[in-house]
A and B are shown apart, each in its own frame.
Chain A
Amino acid sequence: MTPPLFRERLTNGLRVTIAPDMRAPLVAVNLWYHVGSAMERAGRTGFAHLFEHMLFQGSAHVDANGHFDAIQRVGGTLNGSTWLERTNYFETVPSHELALALWLEADRMGQLLPAMTQAKLDTQRDVVKNERRWSVDNQPYGTWWEQLPALCYPPTHPYHHSLIGSMEDLSAATLDDVRAFFETWYAPDNAVLTIVGDVDVDATRALVAEHFGSIRRAGAVPARPDFTLRDDATTAAPRTVTIPDRVPLSRVLVAMRIPPLTSPEHAIADVVAAALATRRGSRLYRALQRDAGCASATSAFTWDLSAGADLFVADATAQSGTDVDALSRALHAELDRMHATPLTRDELARATTVLATERASALATAQGRADAISQAVTYFDDPAWAFTREAAWRAVDVAAAQAFVARWLTPSARFELRYVPSEGAA
């Protein structure tokens, strides 16, 4: 069910959506900038994410860490995150502190650079290097999310390189990079602001105009990189990569390129992935975990990339005693079986019902709704898209699912990443 949504576009290009919801005295403020690791220049992998850290280091009228301090002192929660094509910043605060949240976001959107120093950059660079060690290098299977896109997209493609970045590129980042990145991408005409919660629409519009209205737009709409896939660029390369890692059990990830999130076909991918591997009624669970007992965990999901091609991933982690070749064969067999024995109406109905509950859960908080609306506006220029998913899933019939599988999930489309226990690993 779509809640009431009030939209406007400021003269500087900032797209604003307000969704009043008076159930609790809180408000979610959510800001998407349409920039992520895919827009990084060569030699600066990881910069979009490092830059996200710099946005918490103060702005013209806010001290370093003053943003965190101000929000937490009023009982708010906040964070930011970086993805391949977008970076989001968000806070949920008691509703009488809406102006504070808007002021903080506007100050760093409009006047970040006066607060930037070499010392802050050096500190956050080391923090991010430790984030990389923690989430990637010292974590079993931790490199999967940089290995998989590296395998599936050609080296020149914007999705190919690591989001968290290499240590070498992080070391190379300079204050000039901070300035250039800010001036290119952090502007109202490349941003989407969503406010969900206990607010009055007119008063909120006035507050938004007061805080954001005078921020200047970027000189020109930033040129996006070319996401077009020139397919042959990868077909010559090996399509299976094996990574020895300090893991106790092998894991196989099979990825296929599919139409992006912005394609109407993407709803089919959601349903097919859920039918394949979400919960215990799914095909992978039943075949690999329940019947064969060769896997201890299975899943399937999409990355939700909006341009070029998205990824559809199916993965399985071995059961003790299963070798990686047998695990791989079992996983491919189930992908093959979707061609030979198409997903049935009952399987699609189960998948859709499970997805509907998961979507309701994602939209259960004001911040969850705000983030979904920001995504919908960023990629579709339509906040209501966030509330159309269930209807889109229910419209997927057997023929549509079969056509999708036949077109996109063929054996020749598969890239495979394998994790195997390294020598003496534990």
Chain B
Amino acid sequence: MSVRPVSGALRPYAFPPVRRWTLANGMGVAFAALPGAALARVLAVVDGGALADPLTACGAQAFIADAVLEGTATRDADAFVAASEGIGAAFDAGVDWDAAYIGSTMLREHLGAALILLADALRAPRFAGPEMTRLADEHRAARMQAEAEPRTIADERMQALLFPGERAGAPLGGTTAQLDAVRALDLAATHAAHYAPARTTLVVVGDLDAAAVEAQVAAAFGAWEAPTTTGRVPLPQGTSTARRIVVVDRARAAQTELRAGVIGVPRRHPDYLALVVANAILGGLFGSRLNLNLRERNAFTYGARSAIDWRRGATGWTLSTAVQTDVTGAACREMLAEVDALRAAAPSADEVEAATAYLAGVFPIRYETVDAVASALAASVVLDLEADYFDTYRDRVRAIRPADVHRVVRTHLTAEAMVCVAVGDAAAIVPLLERDARVSVVRDA
């Protein structure tokens, strides 16, 4: 067949209907049925992300999220593990900047038992015993690994440049240097300040009956009483500075990790969808400008991309790639040239259509599993998304035009404030960056 086949008829799709209710204790619940799914997902979303950390104890909320799975008043850590693994329910915990997430995925017939375990972990963690020492050691080891990875070094250096002096400028999980300060906190008091029913939303997704879910949630969480003592934390602002590149030396590195970034707007900003489309064009798609330039045209890299890490507050809009050492200067120049080009002229209608068609078309594929739907509902809670957000997303993204993209790029992709990071063999790459990228080079202290 030499001619591309024509499309069939588009089949209808609707995001699973979401049912929301609130328990008498103030805990919110969001439930979506996903018929045919063998697995169910429960996810407690707690208003206690890394932004709530004291600046002197970064990593506190990440530690607490893990620690709630280390035994409760009535079940020690082993008993909790035995009960959860006995039903094949894997519990997971973690934080992002805005919230803590404690969840479990299990075969749907075990939902009731998993809810009881989850409620126990949220309400009555014991924060005592050898588990706390072990957990601290695991966090220390994880940070040592992160600090040895060129990719992570570059990502974290970029954060520090965008948010100097703010919590958002330090690693999400904290640092090895502050781990002792985290251990010294009154974990129970810190937990009590954040883990309260009125600060928690429980997300449930699966091939489940709504009335049965309502009864099981009430049975597990109805008796959870805890006062709300804490308000929302202040959001980061970021600090915009002059364009420059910071070089982090890694002698004899096999490659250079390159980043370039600017401060990005909060998720609820009215330019959100146009920015999503702009990012797809710049570095979100395989056929994005960055990837076609740095990978397919110049073969400098295995891949180049850009991303906006959407949060309640200010964020980073970051371009990323890893390139062979001898093209570090040229690659940095090309990254910045793509930013300049996107600012200089509006993208073509065809290029915008490619991005919006992708974003609208991939929507059902993105929400195929209980985990994905649960994460979407969690995001809608954390980021205060409109009630009809998932129902109207595809129409609204298709309505984005080249002029919209150009306007938000001109407004937000501030080339003169773009800061860059290069993690590589400084002796080799500093001269290349000075010669080819024409950016002010600063060696990291």
| Partner-B contacts on A (CB < 8 A) | 21, 23-26, 60-61, 64-65, 68-70, 72-77, 92-100, 102-103, 106-107, 122-131, 133-135, 137-140, 198, 210-211, 246-249, 279-281, 289-290, 293, 296-297, 317, 319-320, 350, 353-354, 356-357, 360-361, 363-366, 425-426
Q: Please, how many angstroms separate the alpha-carbon atoms of A140 and B142 in the complex?
A: 13
A81 CB, nearest partner CB in chain B, Å:
14
Q: Please, how many angstroms separate the alpha-carbon atoms of A15 and B44 in the complex?
A: 45
Provide the residues of chain A in CB contact with B148, threshold 8 Å: 140, 246-248, 425-426
Provide the residues of chain A in CB contact with B370, threshold 8 Å: 364
Q: Once the chains bind, are B137 and A293 in contact (CB under 8 Å)?
A: yes
Contact of B85 among A26, A123, A131, A354 (CB under 8 A): A354
Q: Once the chains bind, are A279 and B90 in contact (CB under 8 Å)?
A: yes
Contact of A130 among B1, B140, B285, B300 (CB under 8 A): B300
Binds A, one of B50-58, B229-237, B357-365, B435-443: B357-365
B404 CB, nearest partner CB in chain A, Å:
19
Q: Once the chains bind, are A320 and B287 in contact (CB under 8 Å)?
A: no
**8 A Cβ contacts from B86-124 to A:** 86-90, 105-107
Q: Once the chains bind, are B354 and A73 in contact (CB under 8 Å)?
A: yes
Q: Please, how many angstroms separate the alpha-carbon atoms of A61 and B4 in the complex?
A: 8
Q: Once the chains bind, are A97 and B88 in contact (CB under 8 Å)?
A: no
A-B contact count (CB 8 A): 212
In the complex with contacts A25-B12, A131-B302, A361-B365 CB distance below 8 A: no
Binds A, one of B195-203, B291-299, B336-344: B291-299
Q: Once the chains bind, are A72 and B82 in contact (CB under 8 Å)?
A: no
Q: Once the chains bind, are B5 and A61 in contact (CB under 8 Å)?
A: no
**8 A Cβ contacts from B332-386 to A:** 353-354, 357-365, 368-371
Provide the residues of chain A in CB contact with B371, threshold 8 Å: 361, 364
Provide the residues of chain A in CB contact with B368, threshold 8 Å: 24, 26, 364-366
Q: Please, how many angstroms separate the alpha-carbon atoms of A77 and B361 in the complex?
A: 10
**8 A Cβ contacts from B266-318 to A:** 285-287, 292, 295-297, 299-302
B207 to A, closest residue via Cβ? A23
Q: Please, how many angstroms separate the alpha-carbon atoms of A279 and B86 in the complex?
A: 12
B138 CB, nearest partner CB in chain A, Å:
6
Contact of B10 among A94, A140, A360, A364 (CB under 8 A): A94
Contact of A60 among B2, B36, B299 (CB under 8 A): B2
Q: Please, how many angstroms separate the alpha-carbon atoms of A65 and B295 in the complex?
A: 11
Q: Does B190 contact A (CB under 8 A)?
A: no
Q: Once the chains bind, are A353 and B88 in contact (CB under 8 Å)?
A: yes
Q: Once the chains bind, are B37 and A364 in contact (CB under 8 Å)?
A: yes
In the complex with contacts A68-B287, A103-B5, A123-B299, A75-B365 CB distance below 8 A: yes
21 A–B pairs (Cβ distance < 8 Å), ordered by A:
A23-B36, A65-B292, A68-B286, A72-B285, A73-B354, A74-B361, A75-B359, A75-B365, A123-B299, A130-B255, A130-B300, A133-B254, A134-B322, A138-B254, A138-B257, A140-B148, A210-B1, A279-B85, A281-B85, A357-B39, A364-B39
